[in-house]
Amino acid sequence: MLEIGVLALQGDVAEHLEAARQAGAKTRISIRLRTVRTADELAGLHGLLLPGGESTTLSLLLQKNAMIEPMRKISGLLGTCAGLILMAKEVEGKSAEQECLGVLDVRVDRNAYGSQVDSFESALEKAGEGAPDLTGKLRIPFIRAPKIVRVGEGVHVLARHPNTGEPVIVQQKQAGKFYLGAACHPEMRTSRMHEYFLTHLQAALETK
């Protein structure tokens, strides 16, 4: 039984809950799903989903509720958009007081795609032969999306922007840890990314 939480302070929480519920059913991995708003509620989680939302708001609420340090200890993290920013090691354009988890070795540029008129939806390109197909042919929304501008050595690119080739979904595996981050919002269209997360998180926990 995997204990999976969805950070529910702000953002597209319901979309992540639904994607995770479907992913549990499709992978037949038994999960217990709950929303999380305090440090106490983080206890016992195997995986935490960080929703899309406003990263300044989320980081402020995480700091106020002393959640950042305990979140760094969780084995599996999946973050989309603002969730990716929270996980990233380096963030361009963040304010000095905005603290992030810094566990995923990428550099992201906040809102680099521009303002809302520049938001778009697009099919994604698999990052090469053997890369998993996390979104199928579906058009995935990029909403005032961050750009992944640097990828660390231990980070593996899973999907790219079809025109520019920029990485848009990445993963990082290390001893007993599994991190999955997307600049876009697969949760709005599909549960495939969540299925992938559950499968790999379970494997990471078994090899721990």
Partner 1 sequence: MQPNAPIHGTFSVKSGLAQMLKGGVIMDVTTPEQAKIAQEAGAVAVMALERVPADIRREGGVARMADPLKVKEIKQAVTVPVMAKCRIGHFVEAQVLQSLQVDFIDESEVLTPADEEKHIDKWNFKVPFVCGCRDLGEACRRISEGAAMIRTKGEAGTGNIVEAMRHIRGVQRGIGEAREAAKNKGKKDLAAMAKEMRVDVVILEKIAESGKLPVVNFAAGGIATPSDAAMCMQMGCDGVFVGSGIFKSADPLQRAKAIVQATAHYNDPDAIARVSEGLGDAMPSIDMRSLTPESRMATRGI
Binds partner 1 by CB under 8 A, chosen from 2, 6, 11, 194: 11
CB-wise, 27 or 166, nearer to partner 1?
166
Would residue 161 show up in a list of annotated catalytic residues for this protein?
A: no
**Alpha carbons 149 and 137: distance in angstroms, whole number:** 25
Would residue 184 show up in a list of annotated catalytic residues for this protein?
A: no
Beta bridge partners of 76: 47, 178
Which of the residues 16, 46, 185, 194 is marked catalytic?
185
Name the one range near partner 1 by CB under 8 A: 91-99, 127-135, 169-177, 192-200: 91-99
CB-wise, 42 or 155, nearer to partner 1?
42
Closest C-alpha among 12, 20, 67 to residue 198: 20
Would residue 187 show up in a list of annotated catalytic residues for this protein?
A: yes
Check if the beta carbon of residue 171 is closer than 8 Å to that of residue 154: no
Binding string, residues 111-140; x marks residues near partner 1 by CB under 8 A: x--xxxxxxxxxx-x-----------x-x-
**Alpha carbons 53 and 131: distance in angstroms, whole number:** 27
The 8-class DSSP code of residue 39 comes to: S
The two beta strands, 140-142 and 120-122, are antiparallel
**Alpha carbons 98 and 87: distance in angstroms, whole number:** 12
Count of residues that bind partner 1 according to CB under 8 A: 47
Site membership for partner 1, residue 190 (CB under 8 A):
no
Binding string, residues 14-33; x marks residues near partner 1 by CB under 8 A: xx------------------
Name the one range near partner 1 by CB under 8 A: 9-17, 71-79, 126-134, 175-183: 9-17
DSSP 127-166: SSTT---SSTTPPEEESS--EEEEE-TTEEEEEE-TTT--
Which of the residues 15, 46, 100, 187 is marked catalytic?
187
**Alpha carbons 121 and 169: distance in angstroms, whole number:** 15
List of residues contacting partner 1 (CB under 8 A): 8-15, 37-38, 52-54, 56-57, 60-61, 64, 81-82, 93, 95, 97, 110-111, 114-123, 125, 137, 139, 141-144, 161-163, 185, 188
Residues annotated as catalytic are 81, 185, 187
